[in-house]
Structure formats: structure tokens, C-alpha cells
Copies of this chain bind each other. A is one copy, B any other.
Amino acid sequence: MGHRLGDASTPARLAAPDEGIGRDELALATRNHGLPLEALRHDITPPGLHYVLTHYDIPYVPEGTPWPLTLDGRVGRPLRLDLSDLHRFPQVTTRVTLECAGNGRALLTPRPVSQPWLVEAVGTAEWTGVPLRLLLAEAGVEPDAVDVVFTGADHGVERGVEQDYRRALPVEVAMGGDPEVLVAHSMNGAPLPPQHGYPLRLIVPGWYGMAHVKWLRSITVADESFTGFQQAVAYRLRRDPGDAGEPVTRIAPRALLVPPGFPDFMSRARVVRPGTVALEGRAWSGRAPVTRVEVSTDAGHTWRDAEQAPDDGERWAWRRWRYEWTVTPGEHVLSARATDAGGHTQPLEQPWNRGGFVNNLVQRVPVLCLDDEDGSAGGDGE
């Protein structure tokens, strides 16, 4: 008759074949949200359109709430910094494309039961803050440091484990300058919105979202590897439950299309008229710069190079691409595929892991091209 934490949690599981999305997955899908894909047109994602995933509740932090950030553990001089202290350090602004490690999960077979993303868990923003390496230098990291552990104010239970959200970076990543890790206080020139970590969050350019700890309260330098839930249990690539698994780190390359034409409300099917359709989209990789984007208009049978926008020097942000498509009446499937300078590319068949992480299967966008005579706004199709 006891009432214990474990009663609130259910074990990790895979959906049965043909099992629809359940109430628990829907409860996550209605509170978290992706980027509506037409918003890929914006270089910087407008506020409210950037993807959001929160494990627990969004902490309620009214403006002016004291927020001392502590930095301690294996350091010579522990720090306790309020927001005005942080503003006395050099400030850096970086444009970063952030993607959820679970993006694409709901397309997997079998489907891991968790936040059911299709392909839209992405967004790009300009983040401003203090380079983490400057704070670590100020505190003086001891030579035996191994991991730097970041703790957020978001609190909950997961698989029976009560926790503040907590993740670590290897000390060489935390102290390195490539990528430049930030303790960020601003998003697109304004204080962080509540759902993006107000008042402080970590930004780790090129890494999946789980590393960018929101509502950041403390930083602890440790002389051993961090084994907290979000590091050792969640966010690992496993095929079998008993595997130790590889950690999820940097973002795999991906390209997405702005869906052309207009949608059907319910099916989200895309409709175009015959003629020339300017396809566009974005491509990114956290591993190396994107060097090639290809487009297929025949369900992946043949591929042609898209035209990439000139390099704008924003290494950690997505890059625009374009492709001119001449379309005739019928059903078509569009895809785009990114390849980066490290030779990583997107698979045409879905790899699989139990957590549903690091998916970068090429997107498939079915498009219906109407007959010429159906409607008046036709193009110059043949």
C-alpha cells in the first residue's frame, strides 16, 4: 500500500506494430512543439516557432528573481555569479541551429514510446552569452578534471528517478573554443523566453538539444565521468536494453524542404499546379560544414545537386538551398539529402535504436500536382 516515486513512471517500451500514438505521447506532443516547416524560410526562426522540448515543467521565474549561478567542484576558486556579474565578462553572439536528439522518432518502426517527433524538432536562433571557457578559467580548473556537470532548475521524475535535469560535457569540450560553448542569457537579442531557459542556459553549438541545459543553476567540475540519468541511462544509442550504448553528441547532417504549394488541412498533403516550382530548404550538420545538398523529385530514384546559398560564415547554423522543379500532373515524392565535409550523409533506409535518437533519414514530401484544368492559377506546365 506504499506510494512511491516508481508508481508515477512506466518502463521504457517500444510501440506494438500498428499501435497508434497513445495518450501519453499526445500529452507530450501538445505541450512541446516543432517548427512548422514553412518557417524554414526564415534565416532566424521567429519567436514561438523554434522547436521546444521540456522534460518536466517550465520553471516559473518572474523577472528580477535572484539567480546565482554557482561554479564549483574541482576548481581553485569557486564562483557565485549573479546576472550582472555575467555581463562583466566578454559577450559572444552565435547563430546556432538546434535539433532535438529525438527528431524523427515517430517515423521509426518499431516506434520508441516518447516525444513523438516527425521531422520538425529544429530551429535557428542567435544566442548571446559568456564563453564557458572564460568562466572556467576564472575559477581555475584542476588538472584532474574529467567532466563538467550542468544542473538546471527543471525538476521531475523519469523511469522512477527523481532528478533535476543534469548533463555533462567532457572537460576538453567545455574548455575548448571550437565550438565555443556559451552560458547564454539572450535569444535573438532579447532575454530568453521561459521555455528556452530564462534566465540562463547552456549553448553547445553543433550538439543535439539535450546538451544545452536550460534554467542553468550550477556548474560542477568533476574528477570522474558523470553517470547521471540523462547521461548514462537516457540519450545513448542502444539496440538492446542491456547495451551500455554510445553517447548522443553532435548533430548528424540533415536537409529539410519548405513544403511547396499549399496543404490539405487534415492530411497535410501538398498540392501544386503544373509548371515551375521553386523548391527551397535548409541543410545543417553539427559534425562538419555541409558541402552538398541533392534533391530527388522521384521518390529517391534519381538525385540532382541543389544550389546552396553562399557561405555566410555561420558555421553552426543551417544554410539555405534552392532547386527549380518543373512539375507535371500526378503524384510525386520530394526528398533532399545533405552531405558534410566529413563525408557523413543521410541514409535512404532507416537505421534504428531503442531511444529513437540521431535520426536523419531523408525526408519524404508527397506532392499532388493537379491537372491543368483544375483551377485557374495554373503555371506553364506541359
How distant is the Cα of A54 from the Cα of B35 in the complex, in angstroms?
13
A residues 27-66 in Cβ contact with B at 8 Å:
27-34, 36-39, 41-42, 46-50, 52, 54-58, 60
Decide: A46 and B194 in contact? CB cutoff 8 A. yes
Across-interface contacts of A19 in B (CB, < 8 A): 20
Interface residues as binary, A94-119 with B (CB distance below 8 Å gives 1, 0 otherwise)? 00000000000010000001101110
**Which of the residues B31, B42, B266 comes within 8 Å of A24, measured between beta carbons?**
B266
Interface residues as binary, A111-138 with B (CB distance below 8 Å gives 1, 0 otherwise)? 0011011101000000000000000000
A residues 240-275 in Cβ contact with B at 8 Å:
259, 262-271
A25 at the interface (CB under 8 A from B): yes
Distance in Å: Cβ of A259 to nearest Cβ of chain B: 8
A residues 315-368 in Cβ contact with B at 8 Å:
329-331, 368
**Which of the residues B266, B331, B368 comes within 8 Å of A10, measured between beta carbons?**
B266
Across-interface contacts of A39 in B (CB, < 8 A): 58, 194
Decide: B57 and A36 in contact? CB cutoff 8 A. yes
Decide: B24 and A263 in contact? CB cutoff 8 A. no
Across-interface contacts of A20 in B (CB, < 8 A): 19-22
A8 at the interface (CB under 8 A from B): yes
- Answer whether A8 and B116 are a contact pair too, CB < 8 Å, given A155-B262, A194-B49, A263-B56: no
Decide: B24 and A21 in contact? CB cutoff 8 A. no
Across-interface contacts of A270 in B (CB, < 8 A): 8
A158 at the interface (CB under 8 A from B): yes
Distance in Å: Cβ of A367 to nearest Cβ of chain B: 10
Which of A26, A30, A36, A38 has most B Cβ within 10 Å? A30
- Among A205-213, A215-223, A369-377, the stretch that binds chain B is A369-377
A143 at the interface (CB under 8 A from B): no
A193 at the interface (CB under 8 A from B): yes
How distant is the Cα of A157 from the Cα of B368 in the complex, in angstroms?
12
Distance in Å: Cβ of A194 to nearest Cβ of chain B: 5
Across-interface contacts of A116 in B (CB, < 8 A): 26, 30
Decide: A26 and B21 in contact? CB cutoff 8 A. yes
A142 at the interface (CB under 8 A from B): no
Decide: B157 and A264 in contact? CB cutoff 8 A. yes
Decide: A262 and B156 in contact? CB cutoff 8 A. yes
- Answer whether A3 and B158 are a contact pair too, CB < 8 Å, given A33-B32, A57-B263, A266-B113: no
**Which of the residues B8, B330, B368 comes within 8 Å of A264, measured between beta carbons?**
B8
A7 at the interface (CB under 8 A from B): yes
**Which of the residues B38, B47, B106, B157 comes within 8 Å of A262, measured between beta carbons?**
B157
Decide: B265 and A369 in contact? CB cutoff 8 A. no
Across-interface contacts of A28 in B (CB, < 8 A): 266, 268
A278 at the interface (CB under 8 A from B): no
A5 at the interface (CB under 8 A from B): yes
Distance in Å: Cβ of A364 to nearest Cβ of chain B: 12
Closest to A274 in B: B3
Residues of A within 8 A of B (CB): 2-5, 7-10, 19-22, 24-34, 36-39, 41-42, 46-50, 52, 54-58, 60, 106, 113-114, 116-118, 120, 155-159, 162, 193-196, 259, 262-271, 329-331, 368-371, 374-375
Top-4 shortest CB links A-B: A20-B20, A33-B33, A48-B48, A21-B21
